[in-house]
A and B are shown apart, each in its own frame.
Chain A
Amino acid sequence: MIRFDHVHKEYPDGTIAVDDFTLEVPSHEVVVLLGSSGCGKTTLMRMVNRMVDPSSGSVSIDGDDVAHSDPVKLRRSIGYVMQSGGLLPHRTVVDNIATVPLLLGATRRSAHARASELLDLVGLEQSVAKRYPSQLSGGQRQRIGVARALASDPNILLMDEPFGAVDPVVRAELQRELLHLQNELAKTILFVTHDVDEAFLLGQQVLVLRTGAEVAQHGSPANILLDPADDFVANFIGGPRRHLRTEMRDGRHIVVDAAGHVTGVLQDDRGAAG
Protein backbone atom coordinates (compact mmCIF):
# COMPACT_ATOMS: atom_id res chain seq x y z
CA MET A 1 0.00 0.00 0.00
CA ILE A 2 1.26 3.43 -0.96
CA ARG A 3 -0.03 6.44 0.90
CA PHE A 4 0.33 10.10 -0.04
CA ASP A 5 -0.46 12.30 2.92
CA HIS A 6 -1.03 16.01 2.23
CA VAL A 7 1.90 16.08 -0.13
CA HIS A 8 3.08 19.44 -1.43
CA LYS A 9 5.89 20.08 -3.88
CA GLU A 10 7.37 23.37 -4.85
CA TYR A 11 10.38 23.24 -7.18
CA PRO A 12 13.30 25.61 -6.52
CA ASP A 13 12.15 27.90 -9.33
CA GLY A 14 8.85 28.46 -7.52
CA THR A 15 6.67 26.13 -9.62
CA ILE A 16 4.10 24.48 -7.44
CA ALA A 17 3.79 21.09 -9.09
CA VAL A 18 1.70 19.45 -6.38
CA ASP A 19 -0.39 21.48 -4.04
CA ASP A 20 -2.07 19.27 -1.46
CA PHE A 21 -2.45 15.68 -2.50
CA THR A 22 -3.71 12.74 -0.51
CA LEU A 23 -4.23 9.24 -1.84
CA GLU A 24 -4.08 5.64 -0.80
CA VAL A 25 -3.09 3.08 -3.40
CA PRO A 26 -4.25 -0.31 -2.10
CA SER A 27 -1.94 -3.28 -2.50
CA HIS A 28 -2.35 -5.34 -5.67
CA GLU A 29 -4.47 -2.67 -7.34
CA VAL A 30 -3.91 -0.48 -10.36
CA VAL A 31 -4.49 3.19 -9.67
CA VAL A 32 -4.23 5.56 -12.60
CA LEU A 33 -3.31 9.23 -12.43
CA LEU A 34 -4.97 10.88 -15.39
CA GLY A 35 -4.33 14.47 -16.33
CA SER A 36 -3.00 16.76 -18.99
CA SER A 37 0.60 17.72 -19.48
CA GLY A 38 2.24 19.52 -16.58
CA CYS A 39 -0.40 18.76 -13.99
CA GLY A 40 2.12 17.06 -11.70
CA LYS A 41 1.70 13.36 -12.48
CA THR A 42 5.39 12.58 -12.86
CA THR A 43 6.24 14.62 -9.80
CA LEU A 44 3.78 12.60 -7.70
CA MET A 45 5.08 9.32 -9.00
CA ARG A 46 8.72 10.18 -8.39
CA MET A 47 7.98 10.94 -4.76
CA VAL A 48 7.33 7.26 -4.20
CA ASN A 49 10.91 6.24 -5.03
CA ARG A 50 12.41 9.45 -3.74
CA MET A 51 13.52 10.72 -7.10
CA VAL A 52 11.69 13.81 -5.83
CA ASP A 53 11.27 14.70 -2.18
CA PRO A 54 8.05 16.45 -1.16
CA SER A 55 8.38 19.98 0.22
CA SER A 56 5.89 19.01 2.89
CA GLY A 57 3.64 16.09 3.66
CA SER A 58 4.76 12.49 3.41
CA VAL A 59 4.66 9.41 1.26
CA SER A 60 4.67 6.05 2.95
CA ILE A 61 4.83 2.46 1.81
CA ASP A 62 3.09 -0.08 4.04
CA GLY A 63 3.11 2.50 6.80
CA ASP A 64 6.80 3.41 6.59
CA ASP A 65 7.59 6.98 5.59
CA VAL A 66 9.89 6.75 2.58
CA ALA A 67 11.77 9.82 3.83
CA HIS A 68 13.38 7.54 6.42
CA SER A 69 14.56 4.97 3.91
CA ASP A 70 17.82 4.88 2.00
CA PRO A 71 16.93 6.18 -1.49
CA VAL A 72 19.22 3.75 -3.31
CA LYS A 73 17.77 0.72 -1.52
CA LEU A 74 14.25 2.04 -1.95
CA ARG A 75 14.70 2.50 -5.72
CA ARG A 76 16.05 -1.03 -6.09
CA SER A 77 12.89 -2.32 -4.42
CA ILE A 78 10.46 -0.44 -6.69
CA GLY A 79 9.96 -1.03 -10.39
CA TYR A 80 9.90 2.21 -12.38
CA VAL A 81 9.04 2.45 -16.06
CA MET A 82 10.09 5.89 -17.16
CA GLN A 83 8.28 8.25 -19.45
CA SER A 84 11.47 8.70 -21.45
CA GLY A 85 12.58 5.06 -21.38
CA GLY A 86 15.84 5.77 -19.62
CA LEU A 87 17.57 2.58 -20.77
CA LEU A 88 21.36 2.46 -20.68
CA PRO A 89 22.29 2.96 -24.34
CA HIS A 90 25.72 1.34 -23.98
CA ARG A 91 24.43 -1.86 -22.41
CA THR A 92 22.77 -4.72 -24.21
CA VAL A 93 19.12 -5.54 -23.67
CA VAL A 94 19.92 -8.40 -21.25
CA ASP A 95 22.26 -6.20 -19.28
CA ASN A 96 19.64 -3.48 -19.10
CA ILE A 97 17.03 -5.89 -17.81
CA ALA A 98 19.51 -7.44 -15.39
CA THR A 99 20.52 -4.06 -13.91
CA VAL A 100 18.65 -4.31 -10.63
CA PRO A 101 19.22 -8.01 -9.92
CA LEU A 102 22.95 -7.39 -10.47
CA LEU A 103 22.88 -4.39 -8.14
CA LEU A 104 21.18 -6.58 -5.56
CA GLY A 105 24.04 -9.04 -5.77
CA ALA A 106 22.71 -11.72 -8.10
CA THR A 107 25.34 -13.59 -10.09
CA ARG A 108 25.67 -12.67 -13.75
CA ARG A 109 24.42 -16.07 -14.71
CA SER A 110 21.26 -15.95 -12.64
CA ALA A 111 20.59 -12.31 -13.55
CA HIS A 112 20.84 -13.16 -17.23
CA ALA A 113 18.61 -16.20 -16.79
CA ARG A 114 16.07 -13.94 -15.13
CA ALA A 115 16.44 -11.43 -17.96
CA SER A 116 15.61 -14.01 -20.58
CA GLU A 117 12.56 -15.13 -18.58
CA LEU A 118 11.43 -11.52 -18.63
CA LEU A 119 11.95 -11.25 -22.36
CA ASP A 120 9.40 -14.04 -22.70
CA LEU A 121 7.11 -12.43 -20.18
CA VAL A 122 6.97 -9.11 -22.06
CA GLY A 123 6.60 -10.89 -25.38
CA LEU A 124 10.00 -10.33 -26.95
CA GLU A 125 12.12 -12.75 -28.94
CA GLN A 126 15.30 -14.02 -27.27
CA SER A 127 17.13 -12.74 -30.32
CA VAL A 128 16.94 -9.13 -29.13
CA ALA A 129 18.87 -10.01 -25.97
CA LYS A 130 22.26 -9.06 -27.35
CA ARG A 131 21.12 -5.91 -29.09
CA TYR A 132 21.57 -2.37 -27.86
CA PRO A 133 18.59 -0.08 -27.17
CA SER A 134 19.31 2.01 -30.26
CA GLN A 135 18.85 -1.13 -32.34
CA LEU A 136 15.26 -1.66 -31.18
CA SER A 137 11.93 -0.24 -32.24
CA GLY A 138 10.07 2.11 -29.91
CA GLY A 139 7.65 -0.62 -28.90
CA GLN A 140 10.44 -3.05 -28.15
CA ARG A 141 12.21 -0.44 -26.05
CA GLN A 142 9.05 0.14 -24.02
CA ARG A 143 8.74 -3.58 -23.40
CA ILE A 144 12.37 -3.63 -22.23
CA GLY A 145 11.52 -0.78 -19.88
CA VAL A 146 8.73 -2.88 -18.39
CA ALA A 147 10.96 -5.95 -18.20
CA ARG A 148 13.67 -3.98 -16.42
CA ALA A 149 11.17 -2.68 -13.90
CA LEU A 150 9.93 -6.22 -13.19
CA ALA A 151 13.35 -7.85 -13.02
CA SER A 152 13.74 -8.03 -9.27
CA ASP A 153 10.06 -8.86 -8.78
CA PRO A 154 9.19 -5.68 -6.89
CA ASN A 155 5.86 -5.34 -5.10
CA ILE A 156 5.36 -1.85 -6.41
CA LEU A 157 5.45 -0.76 -10.01
CA LEU A 158 5.48 2.88 -11.06
CA MET A 159 4.58 3.33 -14.70
CA ASP A 160 4.92 6.80 -16.16
CA GLU A 161 3.20 6.95 -19.54
CA PRO A 162 4.97 3.71 -20.39
CA PHE A 163 3.18 3.32 -23.71
CA GLY A 164 3.22 6.94 -24.75
CA ALA A 165 5.76 6.67 -27.51
CA VAL A 166 4.20 3.95 -29.66
CA ASP A 167 1.46 3.78 -32.26
CA PRO A 168 -2.11 2.92 -31.23
CA VAL A 169 -1.92 -0.67 -32.40
CA VAL A 170 1.20 -1.46 -30.42
CA ARG A 171 -0.15 0.52 -27.49
CA ALA A 172 -3.32 -1.57 -27.41
CA GLU A 173 -1.23 -4.71 -27.51
CA LEU A 174 1.00 -3.52 -24.68
CA GLN A 175 -2.04 -2.58 -22.62
CA ARG A 176 -3.54 -6.03 -23.11
CA GLU A 177 -0.29 -7.62 -22.07
CA LEU A 178 -0.07 -5.46 -19.01
CA LEU A 179 -3.55 -6.53 -17.93
CA HIS A 180 -2.58 -10.12 -18.52
CA LEU A 181 0.62 -9.69 -16.51
CA GLN A 182 -1.23 -7.99 -13.71
CA ASN A 183 -3.64 -10.93 -13.51
CA GLU A 184 -0.66 -13.13 -12.88
CA LEU A 185 1.56 -10.89 -10.79
CA ALA A 186 -0.91 -8.73 -8.85
CA LYS A 187 1.49 -5.86 -8.26
CA THR A 188 0.60 -2.57 -6.65
CA ILE A 189 0.69 -0.31 -9.69
CA LEU A 190 0.63 3.45 -9.89
CA PHE A 191 0.10 4.27 -13.54
CA VAL A 192 0.34 7.71 -15.14
CA THR A 193 -1.26 8.63 -18.42
CA HIS A 194 -3.03 11.44 -20.21
CA ASP A 195 -4.91 8.94 -22.38
CA VAL A 196 -8.48 8.57 -21.12
CA ASP A 197 -9.12 5.22 -22.80
CA GLU A 198 -5.92 3.82 -21.35
CA ALA A 199 -6.85 5.05 -17.89
CA PHE A 200 -10.31 3.48 -18.03
CA LEU A 201 -8.98 0.23 -19.44
CA LEU A 202 -6.24 -0.30 -16.89
CA GLY A 203 -7.33 1.40 -13.70
CA GLN A 204 -9.44 -0.05 -10.95
CA GLN A 205 -9.39 3.47 -9.60
CA VAL A 206 -8.77 6.57 -11.67
CA LEU A 207 -7.85 10.04 -10.46
CA VAL A 208 -8.53 12.90 -12.83
CA LEU A 209 -6.07 15.65 -11.98
CA ARG A 210 -5.96 19.38 -12.62
CA THR A 211 -2.90 21.62 -12.46
CA GLY A 212 -1.08 21.31 -9.18
CA ALA A 213 -2.22 17.68 -8.96
CA GLU A 214 -5.54 18.84 -7.60
CA VAL A 215 -7.94 15.88 -7.65
CA ALA A 216 -10.90 16.74 -9.84
CA GLN A 217 -12.45 13.34 -9.40
CA HIS A 218 -11.47 10.02 -7.89
CA GLY A 219 -13.44 6.89 -8.61
CA SER A 220 -13.86 3.79 -10.71
CA PRO A 221 -13.94 4.24 -14.49
CA ALA A 222 -17.68 3.53 -14.59
CA ASN A 223 -18.21 5.97 -11.78
CA ILE A 224 -16.39 8.76 -13.59
CA LEU A 225 -18.08 8.04 -16.90
CA LEU A 226 -21.56 7.87 -15.45
CA ASP A 227 -21.20 10.75 -13.10
CA PRO A 228 -18.45 13.24 -13.95
CA ALA A 229 -17.87 15.51 -10.97
CA ASP A 230 -17.88 18.71 -13.01
CA ASP A 231 -17.45 20.21 -16.46
CA PHE A 232 -13.69 19.91 -16.28
CA VAL A 233 -13.91 16.16 -15.79
CA ALA A 234 -16.69 15.78 -18.34
CA ASN A 235 -14.62 17.65 -20.90
CA PHE A 236 -11.44 15.87 -20.06
CA ILE A 237 -12.91 12.42 -20.50
CA GLY A 238 -14.25 13.41 -23.87
CA GLY A 239 -17.39 15.43 -23.29
CA PRO A 240 -19.94 14.97 -26.07
CA ARG A 241 -17.62 12.45 -27.73
CA ARG A 242 -18.69 9.96 -25.07
CA HIS A 243 -22.40 10.79 -25.20
CA LEU A 244 -23.33 7.98 -27.49
CA ARG A 245 -26.62 6.84 -28.91
CA THR A 246 -27.58 4.28 -31.48
CA GLU A 247 -29.25 4.75 -34.82
CA MET A 248 -30.55 2.27 -37.32
CA ARG A 249 -28.78 2.17 -40.64
CA ASP A 250 -29.13 -0.51 -43.27
CA GLY A 251 -30.89 -2.66 -40.73
CA ARG A 252 -28.09 -2.48 -38.17
CA HIS A 253 -27.50 -0.40 -35.05
CA ILE A 254 -24.65 2.05 -35.37
CA VAL A 255 -23.26 4.09 -32.53
CA VAL A 256 -23.00 7.84 -33.01
CA ASP A 257 -21.75 10.56 -30.69
CA ALA A 258 -23.50 13.76 -29.72
CA ALA A 259 -22.30 15.52 -32.86
CA GLY A 260 -23.60 12.74 -35.07
CA HIS A 261 -20.19 11.25 -35.93
CA VAL A 262 -20.24 7.50 -36.34
CA THR A 263 -17.97 5.85 -33.77
CA GLY A 264 -18.91 2.20 -33.98
CA VAL A 265 -21.31 -0.57 -34.76
CA LEU A 266 -23.45 -2.18 -32.11
CA GLN A 267 -23.10 -5.93 -32.27
CA ASP A 268 -26.29 -7.90 -31.90
CA ASP A 269 -26.34 -10.70 -29.38
CA ARG A 270 -25.13 -13.32 -31.83
CA GLY A 271 -22.03 -11.35 -32.72
CA ALA A 272 -21.37 -9.93 -29.27
CA ALA A 273 -18.68 -12.49 -28.48
CA GLY A 274 -16.50 -11.26 -31.36
Chain B
Amino acid sequence: MIQFADAFAWLVDPANWPGPNGITARILEHLWYCLLALVLALVIAMPAGLYIGHTGKGRALAIGLTGALRALPSLGLLTLLAVTMSLGLRLAIVPSTIVLAILAIPPLLAAAYSGVEAVDPDVVDGARASGLNEWQIVGRVEVPLAAPLLVGGLRSAVLQVIATATLSAFLGLGGLGRFILDGQAVADYTRMLGGAILVIALALILDGGILLLQRWLVPSGVSIALGTGRLEGR
Protein backbone atom coordinates (compact mmCIF):
# COMPACT_ATOMS: atom_id res chain seq x y z
CA MET B 1 0.00 0.00 0.00
CA ILE B 2 2.89 2.26 0.66
CA GLN B 3 3.64 1.93 -3.04
CA PHE B 4 0.24 3.30 -3.97
CA ALA B 5 0.86 6.27 -1.73
CA ASP B 6 4.19 6.84 -3.43
CA ALA B 7 2.66 6.47 -6.86
CA PHE B 8 -0.02 9.03 -6.05
CA ALA B 9 2.59 11.37 -4.69
CA TRP B 10 4.47 10.96 -7.97
CA LEU B 11 1.32 11.66 -9.93
CA VAL B 12 0.42 14.82 -8.12
CA ASP B 13 3.95 16.19 -8.07
CA PRO B 14 3.77 19.17 -10.45
CA ALA B 15 7.39 18.62 -11.39
CA ASN B 16 6.49 15.36 -13.16
CA TRP B 17 3.97 16.89 -15.55
CA PRO B 18 5.72 19.41 -17.85
CA GLY B 19 8.51 18.84 -20.35
CA PRO B 20 9.04 16.43 -23.25
CA ASN B 21 9.24 13.46 -20.86
CA GLY B 22 6.53 14.74 -18.56
CA ILE B 23 3.16 13.16 -17.90
CA THR B 24 1.28 15.66 -20.07
CA ALA B 25 3.42 14.93 -23.10
CA ARG B 26 3.17 11.16 -22.53
CA ILE B 27 -0.61 11.30 -22.27
CA LEU B 28 -0.81 13.27 -25.49
CA GLU B 29 1.50 10.81 -27.24
CA HIS B 30 -0.55 7.94 -25.93
CA LEU B 31 -3.77 9.51 -27.17
CA TRP B 32 -2.19 10.26 -30.52
CA TYR B 33 -1.17 6.63 -31.10
CA CYS B 34 -4.62 5.50 -30.11
CA LEU B 35 -6.31 8.02 -32.35
CA LEU B 36 -4.23 6.99 -35.36
CA ALA B 37 -5.02 3.35 -34.78
CA LEU B 38 -8.73 3.96 -34.19
CA VAL B 39 -9.07 6.05 -37.32
CA LEU B 40 -7.33 3.35 -39.34
CA ALA B 41 -9.51 0.65 -37.78
CA LEU B 42 -12.70 2.64 -38.36
CA VAL B 43 -11.81 3.28 -41.98
CA ILE B 44 -11.42 -0.46 -42.52
CA ALA B 45 -14.01 -1.94 -40.19
CA MET B 46 -16.95 0.40 -40.72
CA PRO B 47 -17.37 0.07 -44.49
CA ALA B 48 -16.65 -3.65 -44.31
CA GLY B 49 -19.04 -4.22 -41.41
CA LEU B 50 -21.82 -2.14 -42.93
CA TYR B 51 -21.40 -3.93 -46.24
CA ILE B 52 -21.61 -7.33 -44.56
CA GLY B 53 -24.59 -6.33 -42.47
CA HIS B 54 -26.44 -4.76 -45.37
CA THR B 55 -25.85 -7.45 -47.97
CA GLY B 56 -25.40 -10.49 -45.73
CA LYS B 57 -22.36 -11.36 -47.85
CA GLY B 58 -18.98 -12.27 -46.40
CA ARG B 59 -20.30 -12.91 -42.94
CA ALA B 60 -18.53 -16.23 -42.41
CA LEU B 61 -15.29 -14.72 -43.64
CA ALA B 62 -15.63 -11.80 -41.25
CA ILE B 63 -16.31 -14.05 -38.29
CA GLY B 64 -13.30 -16.20 -39.12
CA LEU B 65 -11.07 -13.23 -39.70
CA THR B 66 -12.03 -11.36 -36.55
CA GLY B 67 -11.57 -14.55 -34.55
CA ALA B 68 -8.10 -14.93 -36.00
CA LEU B 69 -7.25 -11.27 -35.40
CA ARG B 70 -8.39 -11.53 -31.81
CA ALA B 71 -6.12 -14.51 -31.26
CA LEU B 72 -2.99 -12.66 -32.40
CA PRO B 73 -0.71 -11.78 -29.50
CA SER B 74 -0.10 -8.05 -29.72
CA LEU B 75 3.44 -8.01 -28.39
CA GLY B 76 4.54 -10.83 -30.68
CA LEU B 77 2.97 -9.14 -33.68
CA LEU B 78 4.51 -5.82 -32.75
CA THR B 79 7.98 -7.31 -32.57
CA LEU B 80 7.49 -9.23 -35.78
CA LEU B 81 6.31 -6.21 -37.72
CA ALA B 82 8.98 -3.94 -36.32
CA VAL B 83 11.78 -6.33 -37.23
CA THR B 84 10.50 -7.48 -40.61
CA MET B 85 9.06 -4.26 -42.03
CA SER B 86 11.68 -2.16 -43.76
CA LEU B 87 10.44 0.94 -41.97
CA GLY B 88 9.66 -0.97 -38.82
CA LEU B 89 12.30 0.27 -36.47
CA ARG B 90 13.03 3.64 -38.01
CA LEU B 91 9.38 4.62 -38.16
CA ALA B 92 8.05 2.67 -35.21
CA ILE B 93 4.70 4.44 -35.36
CA VAL B 94 3.84 2.33 -38.39
CA PRO B 95 3.98 -1.13 -36.77
CA SER B 96 2.52 0.31 -33.59
CA THR B 97 -0.49 1.74 -35.43
CA ILE B 98 -1.01 -1.50 -37.34
CA VAL B 99 -0.95 -3.64 -34.22
CA LEU B 100 -3.34 -1.36 -32.38
CA ALA B 101 -5.66 -1.14 -35.36
CA ILE B 102 -5.73 -4.93 -35.60
CA LEU B 103 -6.87 -4.95 -32.02
CA ALA B 104 -9.61 -2.40 -32.67
CA ILE B 105 -10.95 -3.93 -35.86
CA PRO B 106 -12.74 -7.00 -34.44
CA PRO B 107 -15.03 -5.17 -32.00
CA LEU B 108 -15.80 -2.45 -34.54
CA LEU B 109 -16.45 -4.89 -37.35
CA ALA B 110 -18.63 -7.12 -35.20
CA ALA B 111 -20.60 -4.14 -33.93
CA ALA B 112 -21.15 -2.85 -37.44
CA TYR B 113 -22.41 -6.05 -39.00
CA SER B 114 -24.37 -7.31 -36.06
CA GLY B 115 -25.86 -3.86 -35.51
CA VAL B 116 -27.06 -3.64 -39.09
CA GLU B 117 -28.28 -7.23 -39.08
CA ALA B 118 -30.32 -6.54 -35.99
CA VAL B 119 -32.38 -3.86 -37.73
CA ASP B 120 -35.95 -5.06 -38.29
CA PRO B 121 -36.12 -6.38 -41.89
CA ASP B 122 -39.63 -4.92 -42.24
CA VAL B 123 -38.26 -1.46 -41.59
CA VAL B 124 -35.59 -1.89 -44.25
CA ASP B 125 -38.18 -3.32 -46.61
CA GLY B 126 -40.47 -0.35 -45.99
CA ALA B 127 -37.64 2.07 -46.62
CA ARG B 128 -36.72 0.35 -49.86
CA ALA B 129 -40.34 0.22 -50.98
CA SER B 130 -40.68 3.95 -50.32
CA GLY B 131 -37.87 4.56 -52.79
CA LEU B 132 -34.74 4.95 -50.68
CA ASN B 133 -31.73 3.73 -52.63
CA GLU B 134 -29.28 1.31 -51.00
CA TRP B 135 -26.94 4.08 -49.80
CA GLN B 136 -29.85 5.92 -48.25
CA ILE B 137 -31.02 2.74 -46.56
CA VAL B 138 -27.60 2.26 -45.00
CA GLY B 139 -27.11 5.90 -44.08
CA ARG B 140 -30.58 6.88 -42.96
CA VAL B 141 -31.98 3.67 -41.58
CA GLU B 142 -29.41 1.02 -40.76
CA VAL B 143 -26.65 3.16 -39.29
CA PRO B 144 -28.94 5.23 -37.04
CA LEU B 145 -30.73 2.14 -35.79
CA ALA B 146 -27.43 0.35 -35.24
CA ALA B 147 -25.94 3.37 -33.46
CA PRO B 148 -26.20 1.99 -29.92
CA LEU B 149 -24.33 -1.16 -30.94
CA LEU B 150 -21.81 0.86 -32.93
CA VAL B 151 -21.08 2.98 -29.88
CA GLY B 152 -20.70 -0.20 -27.85
CA GLY B 153 -18.14 -1.48 -30.36
CA LEU B 154 -16.31 1.84 -30.22
CA ARG B 155 -16.13 1.64 -26.45
CA SER B 156 -14.55 -1.77 -26.39
CA ALA B 157 -12.14 -0.81 -29.18
CA VAL B 158 -11.07 2.29 -27.29
CA LEU B 159 -10.51 0.36 -24.07
CA GLN B 160 -8.36 -2.25 -25.78
CA VAL B 161 -6.33 0.27 -27.72
CA ILE B 162 -5.68 2.53 -24.73
CA ALA B 163 -4.50 -0.43 -22.69
CA THR B 164 -2.34 -1.92 -25.39
CA ALA B 165 -0.77 1.33 -26.60
CA THR B 166 1.59 0.95 -23.66
CA LEU B 167 3.40 -1.63 -25.79
CA SER B 168 4.49 1.09 -28.22
CA ALA B 169 7.20 1.99 -25.73
CA PHE B 170 8.94 -1.27 -26.60
CA LEU B 171 9.70 0.16 -30.03
CA GLY B 172 11.17 3.30 -28.51
CA LEU B 173 8.02 5.31 -28.96
CA GLY B 174 6.55 7.52 -26.25
CA GLY B 175 3.22 7.17 -24.55
CA LEU B 176 2.39 6.08 -21.03
CA GLY B 177 4.18 2.77 -21.60
CA ARG B 178 7.44 4.70 -21.22
CA PHE B 179 6.84 5.16 -17.49
CA ILE B 180 6.29 1.45 -17.07
CA LEU B 181 9.20 0.36 -19.24
CA ASP B 182 11.68 2.99 -18.07
CA GLY B 183 10.61 2.54 -14.48
CA GLN B 184 11.24 -1.14 -14.73
CA ALA B 185 14.68 -0.63 -16.24
CA VAL B 186 15.84 1.20 -13.12
CA ALA B 187 13.58 -0.69 -10.69
CA ASP B 188 11.55 2.49 -10.09
CA TYR B 189 8.31 0.83 -9.06
CA THR B 190 6.69 4.10 -8.10
CA ARG B 191 6.97 5.36 -11.65
CA MET B 192 5.75 2.02 -13.06
CA LEU B 193 2.72 2.06 -10.83
CA GLY B 194 2.06 5.72 -11.60
CA GLY B 195 2.17 4.92 -15.33
CA ALA B 196 -0.21 2.01 -14.89
CA ILE B 197 -2.65 4.15 -12.92
CA LEU B 198 -2.53 6.77 -15.67
CA VAL B 199 -3.40 4.16 -18.31
CA ILE B 200 -6.35 2.95 -16.27
CA ALA B 201 -7.54 6.46 -15.54
CA LEU B 202 -7.27 7.44 -19.19
CA ALA B 203 -9.29 4.40 -20.23
CA LEU B 204 -11.99 5.09 -17.68
CA ILE B 205 -12.22 8.77 -18.54
CA LEU B 206 -12.51 8.06 -22.27
CA ASP B 207 -15.09 5.38 -21.65
CA GLY B 208 -17.13 7.77 -19.55
CA GLY B 209 -16.70 10.41 -22.25
CA ILE B 210 -18.05 8.10 -24.93
CA LEU B 211 -20.93 7.15 -22.70
CA LEU B 212 -21.83 10.82 -22.43
CA LEU B 213 -21.28 11.30 -26.14
CA GLN B 214 -23.74 8.51 -26.77
CA ARG B 215 -26.45 10.93 -25.81
CA TRP B 216 -25.39 12.98 -28.74
CA LEU B 217 -24.30 10.18 -31.09
CA VAL B 218 -27.52 8.19 -30.79
CA PRO B 219 -30.51 10.17 -32.11
CA SER B 220 -33.33 10.42 -29.60
CA GLY B 221 -35.72 8.81 -32.08
CA VAL B 222 -33.47 5.77 -32.10
CA SER B 223 -33.58 5.40 -28.33
CA ILE B 224 -37.35 5.66 -28.48
CA ALA B 225 -37.53 3.24 -31.41
CA LEU B 226 -35.38 0.70 -29.61
CA GLY B 227 -37.05 1.30 -26.29
CA THR B 228 -33.74 2.01 -24.60
CA GLY B 229 -33.03 4.73 -22.12
CA ARG B 230 -30.88 7.50 -23.44
CA LEU B 231 -27.73 6.52 -21.60
CA GLU B 232 -28.26 2.82 -21.74
CA GLY B 233 -25.78 0.88 -23.86
CA ARG B 234 -26.98 -2.16 -25.74
Q: Is residue B219 contacting chain A, with contact meaning CB distance below 8 A?
A: yes
Most buried by A among B128, B131, B226: B131
Q: Is residue B145 contacting chain A, with contact meaning CB distance below 8 A?
A: yes
Q: Is residue B130 contacting chain A, with contact meaning CB distance below 8 A?
A: yes
Residues of B close to A80: CB separation below 8 A: 129-130
Q: Is residue B46 contacting chain A, with contact meaning CB distance below 8 A?
A: no
Q: Is residue A252 contacting chain B, with contact meaning CB distance below 8 A?
A: no
Q: Is residue A172 contacting chain B, with contact meaning CB distance below 8 A?
A: no
**Who on chain A is nearest to B218 by CB?**
A90
Task: Take A90-B219, A135-B224 as given contacts and tell me if A73 and B131 are in contact as well, using a CB distance cutoff of 8 Å.
Answer: yes
- CB–CB B145/A90 < 8 A: yes
How many chain A residues sit at the interface, stated as a range, is 20 to 34
Residues of A close to B131: CB separation below 8 A: 72-77, 100, 103
- CB–CB A72/B133 < 8 A: yes
Considering only residues 49-78 of chain A, those with a C-beta below 8 Å from chain B are 49, 51, 72-77
Q: Is residue A210 contacting chain B, with contact meaning CB distance below 8 A?
A: no
**Who on chain B is nearest to A84 by CB?**
B122
- CB–CB B129/A86 < 8 A: yes
- CB–CB B129/A88 < 8 A: no
Residues of A close to B205: CB separation below 8 A: none
Most buried by B among A76, A92, A99: A99
**Who on chain B is nearest to A83 by CB?**
B122
Q: Is residue A180 contacting chain B, with contact meaning CB distance below 8 A?
A: no
Most buried by B among A51, A73, A77, A90: A90
Interface string of B195-234 (1 = CB under 8 A from A): 0000000000000000000000001011011110000000
Residues of B close to A49: CB separation below 8 A: 129
- How far, in whole Å, are A111 and B227 apart by their CA atoms in the complex? 28
Residues of A close to B132: CB separation below 8 A: 72, 99, 103
- CB–CB A88/B123 < 8 A: yes
Task: Take A51-B125, A82-B122 as given contacts and tell me if A76 and B130 are in contact as well, using a CB distance cutoff of 8 Å.
Answer: yes
CB distance from B202 to the nearest CB of A (A): 33
Q: Is residue B144 contacting chain A, with contact meaning CB distance below 8 A?
A: yes
Considering only residues 130-157 of chain B, those with a C-beta below 8 Å from chain A are 130-133, 136, 141, 144-145
Most buried by A among B120, B129, B222: B129
- How far, in whole Å, are A85 and B224 apart by their CA atoms in the complex? 17
CB distance from B145 to the nearest CB of A (A): 6
- How far, in whole Å, are A69 and B50 apart by their CA atoms in the complex? 28
- CB–CB A132/B221 < 8 A: yes
Most buried by A among B127, B130, B145: B130
Name the contact of B130 in the complex, choosing from A89, A90, A100 (C-beta under 8 A).
A100
CB distance from A169 to the nearest CB of B (A): 26
Residues of A close to B141: CB separation below 8 A: 88, 90
- CB–CB B122/A134 < 8 A: no
Q: Is residue A91 contacting chain B, with contact meaning CB distance below 8 A?
A: yes
- How far, in whole Å, are A76 and B131 apart by their CA atoms in the complex? 5
Name the contact of B129 in the complex, choosing from A82, A89, A133, A135 (C-beta under 8 A).
A82
CB distance from A108 to the nearest CB of B (A): 14
- CB–CB B125/A89 < 8 A: no
Q: Is residue B126 contacting chain A, with contact meaning CB distance below 8 A?
A: yes
- CB–CB A132/B224 < 8 A: yes
Task: Take A75-B131, A80-B129 as given contacts and tell me if A85 and B122 are in contact as well, using a CB distance cutoff of 8 Å.
Answer: yes
Considering only residues 37-55 of chain A, those with a C-beta below 8 Å from chain B are 46, 49, 51
Residues of A close to B136: CB separation below 8 A: 103
**Who on chain A is nearest to B147 by CB?**
A90
- How far, in whole Å, are A77 and B136 apart by their CA atoms in the complex? 17
Q: Is residue A148 contacting chain B, with contact meaning CB distance below 8 A?
A: yes
**Who on chain B is nearest to A148 by CB?**
B130
- How far, in whole Å, are A90 and B144 apart by their CA atoms in the complex? 8
Q: Is residue A87 contacting chain B, with contact meaning CB distance below 8 A?
A: yes
Considering only residues 6-56 of chain A, those with a C-beta below 8 Å from chain B are 46, 49, 51
**Who on chain A is nearest to B124 by CB?**
A86
Residues of A close to B126: CB separation below 8 A: 82, 84-88
Residues of A close to B219: CB separation below 8 A: 90
CB distance from A140 to the nearest CB of B (A): 15
Task: Take A89-B145, A90-B145 as given contacts and tell me if A132 and B129 are in contact as well, using a CB distance cutoff of 8 Å.
Answer: no
- CB–CB B122/A88 < 8 A: no
- Other contacts beyond A75-B130, A82-B129, A86-B129: 5, CB < 8 A: A89-B145, A90-B141, A100-B131, A103-B130, A103-B136
Q: List 5 A-B contacts (CB under 8 A).
A: A74-B131, A75-B130, A85-B126, A89-B120, A134-B225
A-B pairs, 4 with minimum CB distance: A86-B126, A76-B131, A89-B225, A90-B221
